[in-house]
Structure 1
Amino acid sequence: MSARTRAVSGLPVHIDRSSSSPLPVQIAAALREAIDASLIRPGEAVPATRDLSRRLGVARGVVVAAYEQLIAEGYLAAAQGRGTLVHPDLARTSPGAGAGAGVDPARPAIPVDARPDGEGRAPTDESLLGAERPAPLAPGAPITEGVVSSAWRSAWREAAASLEVAATVAPPLGDPSLRREIAEHLRRMRGTPRAAADVLVTAGTRDGLWLLLTALGATRGRTLAVGVEDPGLPSLRGAVSRAGASIIALPADALGLDTARLPDGMLDAVIVTPSHQYPLGGSLPLARRRELLAWAHRNGVVIIEDDFDSELRYTGTPLPTLAALDDAERGVVVLLGTFSRTITPALSAGYLLAPAGLRALIEPVRRDLGGPVSSVVQSALAAYLASGELRRHTVRMLRRYAVRRDLVSERLAGAERARVRPMDGGLHAVIEFSGDPERARRREADVIAEAEPMRLGVQALGRYWQRTDRDAGMAGLVIGVGGDDDAAFDAALRELRGILDRV
């Protein structure tokens, strides 16, 4: 480590366990004061989270939460491969910055190969796995540890070498080799045999959703009405609204979308998660799937199947997609998938699978706008899929997620009026509060209020509902089971258990 990024030791960071102020807040305040007093200067590294947590005798997750808060405030910056630094820009905004502050303005405090754009470093290692670390219990964050393998490095070497031969822009619909590999992936992993021509490469689920809604809006000539599962992902509702569509809440239960309560004659599209409903985790039974398809054909409704984390199933094999039951020519199901959950969010790559009739509407829009995923990423991803390593990596990760799920049950067992709902897969768990509905909702709010300063990443179950007349008994928490740090995950669970016992 260079002198410029050597961590400053002996910082005056102390904690008071008798204080009512949470530990992450105390640590963040001490570091903030040290930076303001120039005890640590812009561009200098702060102690590693493991070192500081060991010195203070606290869980590493506590220090991580403090660092994340200071990163959000602009005091610190995460530098890939170099740890966490005092933000270099403070040298330009703080009084007395310059030579007296110990930073040479002619030289960057963060090395070139640590810049966010990755210039100067080949994307074959953890630099592509993202610099920001999510909160330990944040829902949706995958375990990215273990992605970097010989197959991963080889895929990126091949992609980089191909650029030297022909620096080409990827076709708007996607690299043909990647489209073929995605089609093969869907056949083997999702029980969905479809031609490569049915696949379009996207920058992820939201990009695919926006592309489809734009195409539909151009043909309908009016504001689209889109049905969404309730409860469901708030971010998905936000994406639909941003696309200019109106949202209709559709009730979901423990099995998924309640097809018996679907309205006739008022929707243009409906977004569903049939293989693993989010957040309750239900799998839509075959009878409901057929009823949904019949209803959609009868009403001229497009079914948008969000495949989300459906491949991550602990028991049995992943269920086939709803698209597998649909017609490849005149069908109504558009499948949206992403590699953010099985590989890494840093790829920003996914796919859209559509029958021929709907592709005729979507493809012109994509051609007009161009492809959103770079040719080098597509080439590397195609090689990685062709190697079969993603299937092996998924199997390894499933074992780790199963261990995390069991740890959630173990740590939270016996918590008063709280139970972990059974989950067959996915990256999250739901903790349901029982008892008087009004008191359960108050407890939900109180737990979130106490957990928020600790940066655990816990979400209120109530925020996943859109309807105000939702089942009054469904109050609780949604927590993630991903993230690379096993110790931080365990520590966060213990802290959450302490909150549940107090509140």
Structure 2
Amino acid sequence: MRSSPEITLPVRLDRSGTDPLPAQLAGRLRELVTADVLAPGDTLPSTRALAVHLGVSRGTVLAAYDQLLAEGYLSAAAGRSTVVNPQLRRVHPHPPRAHRPLPPEPTPAYDLRPGRPWAEEVTGPAWRTAWRQASAAPVGGPVPVLGLPALRSAWSEHLRRMRAVVRDPAQIAVTGGGREGFALVLLARAGARPLRVAVEEPGYPSLRRVPARFGATVVPLPVDEHGLRVADLPGGRAAPDVLLVTPSHQYPLGGSLPVDRRQALLEWARRNHVLIVEDDYDSELRYTSQPLPALAALDDPVEGNVALLGTLSKTLTPALGMGFLALPATLVPAVAAARHDLGQPVGAVAQQAIAHYLAAGALRLHTQRMRNRYRRRRAQVTAALADTPGVRVYPMDGGLHAVVQTRRPEAEVVAALAAAGVLVSPLSEYWSGAGQRQGIVFGFGALTERELAEAMSLVAPEVGLNRL
């Protein structure tokens, strides 16, 4: 029978003290058990090993162990290691503590907070094969700072096929997700003075909070039903250093930036030397039309002004924590230098697995399956809210969420739904200042058809004027 590994004991003895060393050792071990540092069933070091570690005689350790065996704190049998008594709490019930953790909050019946895809079908045969191949590969040295060449090549091919973005694999950087990739660009762009970073208003909360963490000044820019209002962008000295934009599917309102605005945006960026960070949010999850060309596809791949930011959190699962940057060639050295100092955050095995997954075409097939699934969920939401008076449902041409503007007080709606076991996000949270709109934002991707129908039967009455 294999024994469990011995635990390292943080024990110190006072040789100048008046208490005998065996009594001191027994007392220290008793304290570790009481403080839960030593748990029932933990294996203690052998008497010989602990004696050498503490610089005492083996007889000292034997005496301490014998004392704790007699008190019921330890347990031993012939031919086996000494362990903390597995039945310790029967012999010595745990005393009550003031710092006991609070009981967890009850799990809601329906968690509709946005940003959660359907992850049940991710771990299919292609996924398991990819991870099996990755785990069987030889364990090498450090991961290259911009990522494994195989994954960068796979991303390059995926972008060419799915987004018409042609970038050499040398212009791809593997990231630890959207926020980490955005942070990397900000570090690469940083100079002697704090950056001025423009963001859409309203916009994606988690990405909007990143620039302030780097000491940047955040400049909100207004959007309309088509996305960023390019004609109103500041120029000259008022122009920002970096602009974060979601042209394919503006978050949360859902607008798609028309081609003429995209061209005007690129011209504005060239004229004012602005780096555009294109968050390609939900670009592959459209239901009513094909996505328009990415800004990066319209930009010069060498001297351009667009860094394309992508992630697998919506197409696969946020649990993976992986994404990419497709960079103009002129920005690659600065990004590589920042990554060299910070290190590559994604391990080699995960990178190899996703490289296999992408190369097999599995992500394209999975995205197609999920697009069909989400289209059905979208239809459920649309039907459930179709006859609800007093609400405005924003277009859901793509993505995994719905935006509902209501004339009822937002806080009242959110609280009532929470009391009914339905979690949603307040619409006002997507604004940083004036102009906030009242309503809710909720996701529909992570529930079954039955669960979504049940949730919508609770949501529709609460957002409608019939509750006033």
TM-score range, shorter chain: 0.7 to 0.9
1:445 aligns with 2:411: yes
For the aligned residue pairs, the C-alpha RMSD in angstroms reads: 2.4
The corresponding residue for 1:99 is 90
1:493 aligns with 2:459: no
Deviation at 1:100, TM superposition (A): 7.5
1:404 match: secondary structure: helix
Q: Quick one: distance in 1 between partners of 2:247 and 2:274?
A: 16
1:462 aligns with 2:433: no
Q: 1:365 aligns with which of 331, 338, 343?
A: 338
Deviation at 1:453, TM superposition (A): 3.5
The corresponding residue for 1:242 is 213
1:148 aligns with 2:139: no
The corresponding residue for 2:148 is 175
Deviation at 1:490, TM superposition (A): 2.2
Deviation at 1:133, TM superposition (A): 9.9
The answer as to whether partners of 1:136 and 1:492 remain within 8 angstroms in 2 is no
Residues 78-137 of structure 1, C-alpha deviation per residue, up to 9 Å, x if partnerless?
xxxxxxxxxxxxxxxxxx99238999xxxxxxxxxxxxxxxxxxxxxxxxxxxx999531
Q: Quick one: distance in 2 between partners of 1:286 and 1:134?
A: 42
Moved >6 Å (runs of 4+): 100-103
Residues 431-468 of structure 1, C-alpha deviation per residue, up to 9 Å, x if partnerless?
122xxxxxx3x522210121234452311212211231
The answer as to whether partners of 2:182 and 2:207 remain within 8 angstroms in 1 is no
> Which runs of no fewer than 5 residues in structure 1 stay unpaired?
1-95, 104-131, 434-439
Q: Quick one: distance in 2 between partners of 1:291 and 1:402?
A: 32
Q: Quick one: distance in 2 between partners of 1:452 and 1:428?
A: 18
Map 1:68-467 onto structure 2 (within 5 A): 98-99=89-90, 136-162=111-137, 165-217=138-190, 220-264=191-235, 265-266=237-238, 267-433=240-406, 440=407, 443-467=409-433
2:423 match: secondary structure: coil
Query: If the length of structure 1 is used for normalisation, what is the TM-score?
Result: 0.70
> Which runs of no fewer than 5 residues in structure 2 stay unpaired?
1-86, 95-106
The corresponding residue for 1:48 is none
Q: Quick one: distance in 2 between partners of 1:160 and 1:168?
A: 15
Q: Quick one: distance in 2 between partners of 1:421 and 1:385?
A: 33
1:98 match: secondary structure: helix
Of stretches 442-451 and 184-193 in structure 1, the one that deviates more from structure 2 is 442-451
Deviation at 1:325, TM superposition (A): 0.7
The answer as to whether partners of 1:224 and 1:246 remain within 8 angstroms in 2 is yes
Q: Decide whether aligned partners of structure 1 residues 380 and 134 sit closer, same or farther in structure 2, where only a CA change above 3 A counts.
A: farther
Q: Decide whether aligned partners of structure 1 residues 102 and 316 sit closer, same or farther in structure 2, where only a CA change above 3 A counts.
A: farther
The answer as to whether partners of 1:201 and 1:352 remain within 8 angstroms in 2 is yes
Residues 261-300 of structure 1, C-alpha deviation per residue, up to 9 Å, x if partnerless?
1011231111000011011111111111111111111111
Q: Percent identity?
A: 47
Q: Decide whether aligned partners of structure 1 residues 142 and 158 sit closer, same or farther in structure 2, where only a CA change above 3 A counts.
A: same
Q: Quick one: distance in 1 between partners of 2:374 and 2:364?
A: 15
Query: If the length of structure 2 is used for normalisation, what is the TM-score?
Result: 0.75
Q: 1:475 aligns with which of 438, 443, 453?
A: 438
Residues 163-196 of structure 1, C-alpha deviation per residue, up to 9 Å, x if partnerless?
xx33433211101000000011111111111111
Q: Decide whether aligned partners of structure 1 residues 338 and 134 sit closer, same or farther in structure 2, where only a CA change above 3 A counts.
A: farther
The answer as to whether partners of 1:168 and 1:375 remain within 8 angstroms in 2 is no
How many pairs align? 368
2:117 match: secondary structure: coil
